[in-house]
A and B are shown apart, each in its own frame.
Chain A
Amino acid sequence: GAVVSQHPSRVICKSGTSVKIECRSLDFQATTMFWYRQFPKQSLMLMATSNEGSKATYEQGVEKDKFLINHASLTLSTLTVTSAHPEDSSFYICSARGEGGVRTQYFGPGTRLTVL
């Protein structure tokens, strides 16, 4: 099946630093990419939806100035957590959707962020 990669898989950083997470669709063009966040024992919560070449659409309660999303190409989207704080520690998962719609949507392996 299609593959979506994320990098890094794990990151530990100090409070106040910024962290960039990359999401790549390896063998298909992703017209839409989604960023989710999952806290322990909680469901995946959608943070934002991004379409290549346009601004991301953020879900209510997600600060767009704190979570910067760039979807520069059909195979790459990045999420930058700016001035990270301990409460931002979470499992961040991207998902890429191809032209076939929801049935061609694949998840990356996730990035575990720990902010000290």
Chain B
Amino acid sequence: RKEVEQDPGPFNVPEGATVAFNCTYSNSASQSFFWYRQDCRKEPKLLMSVYSSGNEDGRFTAQLNRASQYISLLIRDSKLSDSATYLCVVNPAGTALIFGKGTTLSVSS
């Protein structure tokens, strides 16, 4: 089983749509969780951290369920500029970040 699994997509949505991405991780000892965004041929950039209590940053909401080892990202009112690959990332016990393969989002007008 892969350490971090994501649906690769692509998700093709119109502007204004709400889209949700899911991710599961295998290491129950993982301590930190993140969503990164990666644009084509660029480095990944931190989008937001993920907490059990859930956290929201503008149109983005992230949620963590430790019991089921599941992480989600919700994007509301999608913009064209949201088109990118979204990487689910976990950090087991302070070691290196472990990346999922990413979910590709394409927002069209």
Contacts and interface: CB of A to CB of B under 8 A. Distances in A.
Q: How large is the interface on A (under 10, 10 to 19, 20 to 34, 35 or more residues)?
A: 20 to 34
A109 B43 contact: yes
B91 interface: yes
A34 interface: yes
B94 A101 contact: yes
A97 to B, nearest CB: 9
A44 B41 contact: no
B99 A43 contact: yes
Contact of B97 (A42, A91, A95, A108): A95
* Secondary structure type dominating chain B contacts: loop
Interface residues of B, number: 20
Interface string B68-107: 0000000000000000000100010011111111100000
B99 A44 contact: yes
B101 A43 contact: yes
25 contacts: A34-B96, A36-B99, A43-B4, A43-B87, A43-B100, A43-B101, A43-B102, A44-B44, A44-B99, A45-B99, A46-B96, A91-B41, A93-B43, A95-B97, A102-B91, A102-B94, A103-B32, A103-B49, A107-B43, A107-B44, A108-B43, A109-B42, A109-B43, A110-B41, A112-B41
Interface of B: 4, 8, 32, 41-45, 49, 87, 91, 94-102
